[in-house]
Amino acid sequence: MKAIHKYEKGILFKYPDCPKQWVLGDTVILSDIEEFDGKIFISSDYLLAVGSDSFGVCYFDGTSWKGFAPSKGLVGYQLCAAGKFLYFLSQQGDLYKFDKSGNKTIIDNNKRFAWPQMV
């Protein structure tokens, strides 16, 4: 998968190709997609490359894909938008919440959410 499509009032809209991933190059494997603060956010099992930086979460600003600064260097799985926050489960099993200003708060860093759970 390289691009995301949506239908709005019966009209097909195609976003520009998703950011590439450091490991996979031209192929993009998304973990999750969520709408938050009027923007589309994506996460990946692999770091998404935006310029020379890498992010676990990127968003579409209306023109192009941007790296979501609080997720710099974090590999992510699931996203969940709820109320004023975007929740993010990292590959390491840490649960974060981001607000609309981009502030990051770690909710639980005990690695208990890691998948698969390694004992």
Which pLDDT tens digit goes with each residue over 18-60?
887 766 666 777 888 999 998 999 988 788 888 888 888 999 9
Q: What is the pLDDT of residue 119?
A: 40
Any domain includes 116: no
Measured between alpha carbons, how far is residue 26 from residues 10, 13, 52, 62, 94 in Å? 30, 22, 16, 22, 28
CA 17 to chain centre: 15
Any domain includes 115: no
Any domain includes 118: no
Structural domain range at position 77: 5-108
- The per-residue b/e assignment along 62-87, b for 16 or more CB within 10 angstroms, e otherwise, is eeebebbebbeebbbbebeeeeebbb
Any domain includes 42: yes
Domain tally, the chain:
1
- The band of 8, judged by pLDDT with boundaries at 50, 70 and 90, is confident
How high does pLDDT run on average in the chain?
82
Any domain includes 77: yes
Contacts 24+ apart (CB under 8 A), 20-23: 20/48, 20/49, 21/46, 21/47, 21/48, 21/49, 22/46, 22/47, 22/48, 22/49, 22/54, 23/47
